[in-house]
Every structure is written in C-alpha cells, then in structure tokens.
Amino acid sequence: MEILSLLAGGVLTALEPLNLMLIIAGVSVGLFIGAMPGLGSVNGVAILLPITFLVPPGSAIIFLAAIYYGAMYGGAISSVTLGIPGASTAVATTFDGRPLALQGRASLALVTAALASFVGGSVANILFTLFAPVLATLALSFGPPEIFALMLLAFATFVGLGGDDIPKTVFSICLGLVLASVGFDTISGEPRLVLFDIPGFLRGIGFIVLAIGVYGIGEMLWTIEQTRGEVTTTNPRMTARGMMNDTREAVQRGWKGTTIGSFLGFFVGILPAAGATPGSLMSYGVAKMVSRRPELFGRGNPDGVAAPEAANNSASTGAMLPMLTLGIPGSPTTAILLGGMVIWGLVPGPRLFVDQPDFVWGLIGSFYISNFAAVLINLAFIPLFVWMLRMPFTILAPMIFVLSIVGGYAASRSIHDLWLIVIFGISAFFLRKFDYPLAPAVLAIVLGPIAEPTLRQSLLLSSGDPSIFFTRPISAPIMVFAIVLILLPAVKLFRRRKTETAAAE
C-alpha cells in the first residue's frame, strides 16, 4: 500500500500545470524527433538538454523523459509511411510496417504500433513501480558471460527460425559482424578494417547510417525496380469506422507480439548498455519464432509491428531503472539523462529513493502520464500520416532520398557517412535481388559491438576457457537454448530428407 500512496503522490506531481504542460510539449516534440530519420531520442534529448535549465530539476527530467517516450512512439511513423526507420529502435518495425502500408493498410500498422507502444509502456511502468530494487539487483548479476549468452540468443532467433535460406541468413549475419568490427578495437585500441586508410572508417560504421542506407535508399531502389515507379496503395483514406476496425484487428492479430515485446523489451532494457534497439530486434525474432505462421512475417503481419514497438517502449522505461537505482545508464539516451541529473545536483543510486522521494516518484508518475498522452497524440495524428501515402511515388521517392541524405548527415555531420549511405543502399538493392535477407545483417551490426567485447572479457576472466558460459547459473540455460535454436534448422532438414527418402522407397 505504501508504494501505491507514493505512486499516487507522484502522479499528482506529474499533473501539476507546469509538469503537465512539459509532458505534452515533450511528447509532441519527441514524436516529431522520432519520426525524423537520423535524429532519434539520443540527439533530441541532447539538443534540448540546455533548455531544461529554465525549469526546476524535477520538471526538467520529466520533460526529457517525455521526449524519450514520444521518440519511441514516433519512430514507427517514418518506418511505416516512408520505409525509413525514424530511429534505430524502429528498424524492426519496418520489416512488416512498410509492407502493410504498400498494401493500403498503413492505418492498421500505425494503430497497431500505437496500441502496442502503449501496452508495452504500461507493462514496463507497472514492473518498474513494483520491482525496481529487485530488478536492479538482477541486472547487476549480468556479467560479460550472461550478456554474451543473451546476444547469442538474439542471433539464434534469426538463424533458427526455419523456413528461410539458412546459409544466406548466416552470410548476412557474418556480413553485419564484419561491418560492426570496423574502427578501433574496443579492448586493444588497434584500428581494424580501415579500408584504404580512409580516416572516416576509424570512427566505425554507425548503425543509423546502415539502417538509412538499407531501408531508405535500398528500399526506394527496390520499389522503383519492381514497379517501374507505378506504386499505388489501396484506399489509404481514414474514417472513424475504419479506425475502429483497425483497432479491433490490431488487438486480435497483434496481442502475441505485444505480450512478447512488453516483457522481453523491459528485461533487455534494464541491462546496462543494451537499450531499446536490441530489445526490439530480439522481440521481433522471438515473435516470429513462436508464431504458427512465421512465413507471414516480413509480408505485412501486425504481430511483426506490435512486437518491436511494444519492446522499444518497454525497454525505454526499463533503461531508466538502472540509471535511477544504480547510477548506471541502460541506454545512450539515459546516459544523457544521467549527466543532466548530475548537473542538477541529483545523485543517482540507491539513496536517491530515500533522499529525493518527491523527485523519484514524480518522475515515475510522469511515465504513466507521458505514456497516456503519447498514445492519444499519436492516434490523433494517424489520419495525417496516412494522408502522406496518397502522394504519387514520383514525389515520394525524391522525398525519401532527400530525407535519407539529410537524416544521415544530421546523425554524424560527416560527408563520409553520406557516401556510405549511398553504397549501403545500392548494396542492399543487389542483396535483395539475390534473395539475401537484410534483417540479420542489421541485427548483427547492432549486437556485434555488444557481443564481441563481452565474449573477449569472458574469455579473459576464464583464461581462455569457454566453459565459463556453461558453468554460471544464468548464462548456462541461455546458451543451451541458443544452441538448440541454432541447430534446429539442421534437425528439421535431416528429418525432411529422411521422410523424403522413406517416401521414395
């Protein structure tokens, strides 16, 4: 009961006129930031951090947290309407959101994304409120072996799904891992794979550069080649009845992905340095793995939209947990929030809940209000987002190209990255022509920088003995499950050939 009374006080604090105004403004700005390719919550929070010194510290972090929430919602907008991920957290949304838009079901994709985001945020808020100290302790028990095991499981969800061309999937993952290793070695500090000694490669290859190139330029070239520019969507108009039908269908067809994303995303979000992007990609893979019809994923399945959208919102709240309770940022955005808290004179850690209860519970209360405000604002603007699809593709294609270039430049302000976007776009086009899956490469470049150092740190801890992954109580079952998923396609292939041989005899 004490938690409920503290939460009620926090919600009342969040509903104070100044805080409520900042929540609405933050969610609206975040929605726009999330929808703009190349910006994302990290850049949005960093850019707007100086503005917060005009208001009290509690109101300031409520405003920044609202931007974070809005950006998680907004990333789905450009993923669905343009096929360009608004942020790295929304890449997996593109896999099924864009096909739905091309089928004239953009409203279904956007409604599914909004509702899944709301549920994911709500589940995460409840878990955060009830189990913050316990979950913070659990997160601390995840050392390098446990985190590597989790990353291997994420790769396994893409390799072991069945029904896909496994050699091409493995090739795609390896390609992504190679791209992820470009730049300075995180442990030795030595430069690696610096092509032709070009200085730009020393910074590595940014994930958003790959995502915009593959899903912006590459998708545009693929669409032009397949349709010769004659792209039409089936009746993208919005009506009140149509939106109600979309809501009903979103609930019926997206509940499983929403459930998976809500819990898995929160769990991944609380792990230090993981964040919402791995959570959304893993949730998509798990949702496809447990689906009765995995072949529908990538062709416009609402479950494929619901899983990553629920996960990225759930993970964004989960990433706040280690920041507040331990002083350890759970994502790049929370690292900026942590810096802001230090500037404001607030010391994150276990004592924060004791020394600053009004601040902590006011922030937690704002999570609930921000989540509610975000879903209302998002749903209200869906007709406008769908209206964009009524533009002829001859106008839309140049717009996609310009947004891709501007978004790529805004992310790093580097001409080198603009060339990489174009190269990745052309390469992605040819990979699609030869039926190579792109999602595993995207997954690899996200998880590679997390998996490689944790693998090497684990082996350093064990003096090179790989049994460390199988002797620790948390990493062992995760590793076993991941290996089973990796071997599953081989078992299925063996059984299929055995059946075919028996039938032939």
Nearby residues of 31 by Cβ (< 8 Å), 6 or more positions away: 70, 71, 73, 74, 77, 374, 377, 378, 381
Judge contact between 209 and 411, C-beta under 8 A. yes
Classify the C-alpha dihedral 215-217-221-223 as positive or negative: positive
pLDDT tens digits, the chain, 505 residues: what are they?
677 788 888 888 888 888 899 999 999 888 888 777 656 677 677 777 777 777 887 888 888 888 888 888 888 888 888 777 767 778 888 888 888 888 878 888 888 998 999 999 999 999 888 877 676 666 667 788 988 888 888 777 766 544 457 788 888 888 888 988 898 887 778 888 888 888 888 888 877 788 778 877 887 787 777 666 555 444 445 566 666 777 787 888 888 889 999 998 888 888 765 667 788 888 888 888 888 888 788 888 888 899 999 998 898 888 888 777 776 666 667 777 877 777 777 777 667 777 778 888 888 888 899 888 988 888 888 777 777 666 676 777 787 788 778 777 776 778 888 899 889 989 988 988 888 878 778 778 877 887 888 899 999 989 888 899 999 988 899 899 888 878 877 777 777 777 777 777 6
Tell me the C-alpha distance between 453 and 442, whole Å. Answer: 18
Judge contact between 309 and 112, C-beta under 8 A. yes
Query: Encoding tokens for residue 482?
Result: 């991941």
- Tokens 């769908």 found at: 386
Closest CA to 323 of 282, 266, 273: 273
pTM score over 0.85? no
Judge contact between 12 and 364, C-beta under 8 A. no
Sequence-separated contacts (24+) of 244-248 with Cβ below 8 Å = 246/107, 246/108, 246/111, 246/112, 247/111, 247/115
The 10 Å Cβ neighbour count of residue 233 is 16
Closest CA to 438 of 100, 165, 101: 165
DSSP state of 103: T
